Amino acid sequence: MKITMKYDQGVRKEEIVVLEIPKQEFDQMIEGDYQYRLKCAKEGEIVERRTVEEIFEELNKQEYNSWQTYSRHQDKFKQLNHEMFEGDLMTALVDDAQMKAHEKQHHYEERCQKIRELLKPKQADMIIAICLDGMRIKDYAENIGATPKQVTDRLSYAKKILREIYSKIRD
């Protein structure tokens, strides 16, 4: 069986790759999927073997949902950051994926230092973790023992402070 994949982004954008997979590997995948679903099924529930396409469709749906959960708010944050900040600091607060895993470590450290100079330590840590490192608000809240609502409020306040500082600098 052949599988055709098309890259949507990155270096290989629009590249099409065709993989040839032996039938016995698909048979093993179908059987493994069936045995797993049979083991997880409730008593009396009917479980049938699925086709390769059905299995891939579910896997793709899970991957898409995971991506959607992570990235659904990124456009809002990018727009907000553009409105709030200028120059070097603004680019630091844009999505972590655009920073390419802090490709330029010294720029990252400079940005962190600027934030730490302008804000209280807890506020600076929060801005760095959420805006620079891309940590989800929910995860950050769990780490510090707060609710996501509290973190969202604190983040808004910290951004407001930065906005005020930068508006004074511009004037």
Tell me the pLDDT of the chain averaged across its residues: 76
Which is more confident, 8 or 125? 125
Model pTM above 0.85 = no
pLDDT at 101: 52
Q: Which of 71, 96, 124 is the last residue of a domain?
A: 71
Q: pLDDT tens digit string along 15-63?
A: 777 778 788 887 888 888 888 888 888 888 888 898 888 877 787 776 6
Containing structural domain, residue 142: 74-170
146-162: pLDDT as tens digits: 999 999 999 999 988 88
pLDDT of the residue at 115: 86
Number of separate domains in the chain: 2
- Do 81 and 60 share a structural domain? no
Query: Are 125 and 43 part of one and the same domain?
Result: no
Mean pLDDT, to the nearest integer, of 83-92? 51
60 and 85, same domain (yes or no): no
DSSP string, 30-88: HHHHHHHHHHHSPTT----PPPHHHHHHHHHHHHHHHHHHHHTTHHHHHHHHHHH--HH
